[in-house]
Amino acid sequence: MEDMIFYDRLQFAFTITFHYIFPQLTMGLSLMIVYFKWKFLRTKVDQYNDAAKFFMKIFAINFTMGVVTGIPMEFQFGTNWAKFSELTGGIIGQTLAMEGMFSFFLESSFLALFIFGEKLMGQKLHFLTGFLVFLGSWASGWFILATNAWMQNPVGFEILENGKYALKNFSALFINPWLLPAFLHNQFASVVTSSFVVASIGAFYILRKKQVEYGKLFLKTGVVFGLISSVLLAFPTGDWNAKNVAKYQPASFAAMEGIFKTEEKGAEIVLIGQPNMVEKKLDNKIAVPNILSFLTYQEWDKQIPGMDQFKQDQLPDNIPALYYSYHIMVGLGTLFIAIMAMALLFLWRKKLYNSKPLLWIIMFLLPFPYIANITGWYTAELGRQPYLVYGLLRTSEGISPTVSSGNTLFTLLGFVALYMLLGLLFLVLVGKTIHHGPRPQTN
């Protein structure tokens, strides 16, 4: 049984991690495309229109890869997690169906019109199609997060005599106190990713001394969007999410923060430390006293329950992975604010475009928002364990009992091989798009 659970979780973790590489860019990039198109309508400067069409090409490649890698996950609900689907399908099936029927079709339909219909529709309708692509991509995130929010904090349901979960209050899915902070945090995280992608491409063009004017436009736009979204990612949305975890999942909060023992007079915030699961402590710890209590409850001496206050079967089943995921996310988020603030200062002083060290830093920071986004999702999902539906349905109760661990491992290896090929194809297509640039015929 333990092997079955492990391989089922491993397969889903791999497929969803690879899948999320793509939508985390498209959701943020759609907003920036709308901005470029709006600027073109306001200024009539062709560079903005070229930028919108250029990044829509990258959007389209990401969107296609997202669709291809997203479909297998839906089948896994029936193959690997059949019991979970049987028991909760009456609830999560509604939000997932709405995501497919409304958001996906809206996004895909108007994506085609934006790419091919500019001359036919005119500029204002072309802007409208771009805005509807943005609306569809963000609505997709809303419905997916509504599903996940119910799994994190189940609301508006009843359990029938046969053990199945039924929805009593449809609106409760969308006024779930977990949903709005999670959605805003996720969307600003996607804007951070897209900002770094846009800024990195701009830095690349400037360093290569090719299409420099576009490089300056991309760099400037990416830095401004990047700083704003990085700050909003930390506060208020990150702070709001952390307070939700402390309120609704206190055992997970203790594990995230590395609080093994309850402190009577306020909890410290850990900057550095390694969980020692044998001695139940953090090794090589560097911490600031009472800060965590103040950030969480605005009281310096407020007690925060440690892991010693919970039964072992209520704690997350992989505390080190949860702890490190959370601290990697927070550390990278802090770094993003610092780098983008420095870049904006250089931009204001008109030194950014000539500062090669900073341009190289911005260009090579490209992978790190992806890492921060993925570790952020790991934090949420590892924190929910050992439950599929927090406090109600354990992970061990949701697997498919007739699918062997050997079959799951075999298909996992197939996914790894296939996704490696898709990843290489993605890099080639995006690389060629960036190489040609917005205006291939000019420098």
**pLDDT, tens digit, 9 for 90 and up, residues 202-261:** 999 999 999 999 999 999 999 999 999 999 999 999 999 999 999 999 999 999 999 999
The b-or-e profile of 394-419 (16+ CB within 10 A means b, else e) is ebeebbbeebeeeebeebbeebeeeb
Residue 146 has pLDDT above 90, yes or no: yes
Sorted by sequence, the CB contacts under 8 Å of residue 386 that are 6+ apart come out as 313, 316, 317, 394, 395, 396
- Report the pLDDT value the prediction gives residue 303, as an integer from 0 to 100: 92
The Cα 254–Cα 246 span in angstroms is 8
Residue 443 has pLDDT above 60, yes or no: no
How far are the Cα atoms of 130, 133, 167, 203 from residue 136, in angstroms, in the given order? 10, 5, 25, 30
The stretches of 209-300 forming alpha helices (DSSP H) are: 212-232, 239-248, 250-257, 291-297
- Report the pLDDT value the prediction gives residue 102, as an integer from 0 to 100: 83
Contact 347, 222 (CB under 8 A): no
Q: Cα dihedral sign for 417, 423, 424, 429? A: positive
Contact 258, 320 (CB under 8 A): no
Between residues 179 and 403, the one the model is more confident about: 179
Question: Residues 343-384: pLDDT tens digits?
Answer: 999 999 999 999 999 999 999 999 999 999 999 999 999 999
Residue 152 has pLDDT above 50, yes or no: yes
Residues 119-123, mean pLDDT to the nearest whole number: 91
- Report the pLDDT value the prediction gives residue 89, as an integer from 0 to 100: 93
The Cα 218–Cα 362 span in angstroms is 12
Residue 162 DSSP class: T
The Cα 102–Cα 112 span in angstroms is 16
Contact 147, 122 (CB under 8 A): no
Tokens 């009593």 sit on residue: 168
- Report the pLDDT value the prediction gives residue 109, as an integer from 0 to 100: 87
Amino acid at 53: K
pTM listed for this prediction: 0.95
The Cα 24–Cα 380 span in angstroms is 16
| Dihedral class, residue 261 (left if φ above 0, else alpha if ψ from -120 to 50, else beta) | beta
- Decide: helix, strand or coil at residue 45: coil
DSSP states along 289-321: TTHHHHHHHS-TT-----GGGS-GGGS-S-HHH
Question: Residues 15-50: pLDDT tens digits?
Answer: 999 999 999 999 999 999 999 999 999 999 999 999
Cα angle 256-185-419, degrees, rounded to a multiple of 5: 80
How far are the Cα atoms of 265, 269, 309 from residue 295, in angstroms, in the given order? 15, 9, 21
